Amino acid sequence: DSGVTQTPKHLITATGQRVTLRCSPRSGDLSVYWYQQSLDQGLQFLIQYYNGEERAKGNILERFSAQQFPDLHSELNLSSLELGDSALYFCASSPELANYNEQFFGPGTRLTVL
Amino acid sequence: AQKVTQAQTEISVVEKEDVTLDCVYETRDTTYYLFWYKQPPSGELVFLIRRNSFDEQNEISGRYSWNFQKSTSSFNFTITASQVVDSAVYFCALPTSGSARQLTFGSGTQLTVLP
């Protein structure tokens, strides 16, 4: 158990809908990362927050957004969903931004868009 | 830009065989860290090891060992006496140079250990 929690574990929805994925980092970790894992794109970085502030954006679509709350949990919002958004979405946390910090991953949310 | 290449898409071995998973990376940083993660069939990503670029000593942890060679930009992972429970996808990863330090992952190697 990494100490990072993600809910829900599975999500099935229809095209055009909006969903929210939730992540609670390990106790004390200030940095939260979101990654998407799909068969064709592999593991790709989406967005990162540090202590409530957005610090970096990767290959995140404009239909997707995220935020980190004062209690450090984070939410990833996906809207106008398309079939291609079906993927495993991971949240990871680390204590700081140093490159020696390993990131601890949550169990993921498997999103299926029908 | 950072890049991680895992050329072996799939490897299949019989239990008790040794197996080496290759990882080649590109970075402009002079000091950096490298990571290996395991993704078992259950889907979670499990941290295995972190190595820094200024320590090229091989690391051994039980049946796992890692060989880091800066001269060839490689960070290979060997499992000795493989077991069925080692079956998983293994990812090599490199933090970016930017302040966020997000990970750039290789495409992963699917290891299947047959009984």
- Which tens digit of pLDDT belongs to each residue from A74-106? 999 999 999 999 999 999 999 877 767 789 999
Closest-approach residue (CA) in chain B for A6:
B44
Q: Do B99 and A48 touch (CB under 8 A)?
A: no
Planar angle of CA A73, B107, A102, nearest 5 degrees: 40
Residue B56 has pLDDT above 90, yes or no: no
- Extract the tokens encoding A24: 């609670």
**Higher-scoring residue by pLDDT: A46, B100:** A46
- For residue B111, the model assigns a pLDDT of 98
At residue B77 the predicted structure's pLDDT band, cuts being 50, 70 and 90, is very high
Q: For residue B20, give every residue at least 6 positions away whose Cβ sits within 8 Å of its Cβ, in sequence order, or none.
A: B76, B77, B78, B79
CB contacts, 8 Å: A92 with chain B: 45, 103
Q: What average pLDDT does chain A have?
A: 94
- Extract the tokens encoding B6: 């895992």
Residue in B52, B102, B108 nearest the CB of A33: B102
Planar angle of CA B84, B85, B90, nearest 5 degrees: 105
- Residues constituting chain B: 115
- For residue A92, the model assigns a pLDDT of 96
Q: Which pLDDT tens digit goes with each residue over A33-70?
A: 999 999 888 999 999 999 999 999 998 999 999 999 99
- For residue B64, the model assigns a pLDDT of 94
Q: For chains A and B, count residue pairs whose Cβ atoms are closer than 8 Å.
A: 64
Residue A113 has pLDDT above 80, yes or no: yes
Residue A17 has pLDDT above 80, yes or no: yes
Q: Where are the beta strands (DSSP E) in chain A?
A: 5-7, 10-13, 19-24, 31-38, 42-50, 53-57, 64-68, 74-78, 87-94, 104-105, 109-113
CB contacts, 8 Å: A108 with chain B: 43-45
- For residue A99, the model assigns a pLDDT of 65
Cβ–Cβ contact B100 with A under 8 A: yes
Determine the average pLDDT of the residues in B61-77. 92
Q: What percent of chain A has pLDDT over 90?
A: 86
